[in-house]
Each structure stands twice: as structure tokens, then as C-alpha cells.
Amino acid sequence: MKLYHVARTRSVRVRWLLEELGVDYELETMPFDPKALQSVDYLELSPLGKVPVLVDGATTLFESVAIIQYLLLHYGDGALEPDSQAPEYGVFLQWLHFGEATLMGAMANIVQHSYHLPEEERDPRTLARAKRQLNHYSHVLEEELGKHEYLVGDEFTAADIVVGYVFYLAKLFKVFPDDCPKLKAWFDKLKARPAFQTATEV
Ligand SMILES: N[C@@H](CCC(=O)N[C@@H](CS)C(=O)NCC(=O)O)C(=O)O
């Protein structure tokens, strides 16, 4: 199995999960550079020219959360997710997808409109709205984490990985909310995991 990875990007999620599961994999670390991501060879794996990509035998996949679900199904042996028949399984799927479909949208706009885009393309109103969204979503999570230790009850699951990655970026880009103590305590627990530390090595 081979993971195409760029430091600090969404491929961190996949690397983190592989480390948690103890699965053998080859890591292809690339620069965050169109020369690599738009090369003819790479576009054959990811027509979008984005990371992550996972190649597992005859299966080649992009989309980080799809890769996470695939890995749990094929290599998880029941780890890091509730049983599919358990009442909390739906809640697990909800947070898993919230992490990319909702939360990451706000974080991506913050990164794009404060750093990545050329200055003339940065829009202060989009940035301000994204910051308000991140703040709103963080308070929703703060409420949730007041009820249990992790996003899905008291067990660490892959939903914590998908959502936790966004708060790793929030720390890096200095927008981690400072009025969410439970969210901070949860993130501190995630950061202490050896698999997180390996996945975020640069
Ligand atoms: N929804 C996709 C998003 C993938 C994505 O946007 N990856 C970024 C890095 S975090 C990327 O490769 N960007 C390079 C580019 O757009 O040129 C996923 O979750 O995998």
C-alpha cells in the first residue's frame, strides 16, 4: 500500500490512521508544488492533482474521508469505529463527514484567504465569514465534548482523526479558539498520541 503525502495537508489524516492501525505502508512524500501535483504521472493517480492518494493493489483512491472509510473496512478489524449495528454508528458517520464537508470548508477559506492565494485574490469578507464559521462550529464541538471524552462517546475513533486534523491546522495558522477549554483539552489528548506525532512529522 502506498500513500502519496504532502506535509500538513489532508494526507496527514490518512497517515495518522495508518499509524494508529499499525498497517504497513510506503510513504511517498511530495512537495506542495504544482510541478509534483500536476505532473503527468501524478494526474494518472489523482485527476484533480490533489493529496491524499492511496494505492492499495488494484485500488487507487482520492478523497481523504473515503480513504479512511476504506481503510477501516479493509484493515480496521473493528478498531476506531463503533460496530455498524450500534446506535452510535450514525453519529460516527456524521462527525466523520462533518470534519471534511463542513468544518474543513471554513478552515480552507481561512488558509486560502490569509496565506495561500495571491494577495489580490484574497477577500477579507470571505476570511471574516470563515472565521465566524470556525468559531460557531468550535462552540458546537465544545458543547458536544462537555458530554463525553471524544466525539463518539468515550472512545477515540477515526472521527476524532478527521476533525482533529482541522484543529491541528487551526493551531498552525493561529486561529484555534481561545474560549473552548473542552475542545483544547480534547485536542491536547489527540496531540499526545504517538500516531499523531508520526503523522505530523515534517
Ligand atoms: N476533499 C479532498 C480535498 C483534497 C485537497 O484539497 N487537498 C489539498 C491539500 S490539503 C491539495 O492537494 N491541494 C493542492 C491543489 O489544490 O493544488 C480530500 O479530503 O481529500
Q: What is the pLDDT of residues 36-75, one digit of tens each?
A: 999 999 999 999 999 999 999 999 999 999 999 999 999 9
For residue 53, the model assigns a pLDDT of 98
Using a 6 Å cutoff on CB, does residue 105 contact ligand 1? no
CATH number at residue 109: 1.20.1050.10
Identify whether residues 60 and 100 lie together within a single domain: no
Tell how far the Cα of 62 is from the centroid of ligand 1, in angstroms. Answer: 9
Does the pTM surpass 0.95? The reply is: yes
Cα–Cα distance, 125 to 103 (Å, whole number): 18
Pairing between β-strand 2-5 and β-strand 26-29 as defined by DSSP bridges: parallel
Residue 92 is predicted with a pLDDT of 98
For residues 15 and 111, membership in a common domain is answered with no
Residue 81 lies in a domain: no
Residue 145 located in a structural domain? yes
Supply the CATH number for residue 12's domain. 3.40.30.10
| 97 and 181 inside one domain | yes
Give the three-class secondary structure for 170. Answer: helix
Q: Count of domains in the chain?
A: 2
State the pLDDT at residue 187: 98
Q: Are residues 93 and 175 in the same domain?
A: yes
Written as nine digits, the cell of 120 is 489580490
Measured on CA atoms in the order 91, 195, 46, 1, is the torsion positive or negative? negative
Q: Which of 69, 64, 90, 67 is closest to 80 using CA atoms?
A: 69
Ligand 1 atom at minimal distance to the Cα of residue 51: 12
Same domain, residue pair 107 and 187: yes
The predicted model gives 134-147 an average pLDDT of 98
Mean pLDDT of all residues in 172-199? 98
Q: Relative to the CA of 52, which ligand 1 atom is closest?
A: 20
Q: At what angle do helices 158-172 and 64-75 cross, to 10 degrees?
A: 140
- To test the pocket of ligand 1, the residue of 51, 67, 69, 71 to mutate (highest count of ligand atoms within 8 Å of its CB) is 51
Residue 68 CB less than 6 A away from ligand 1: no
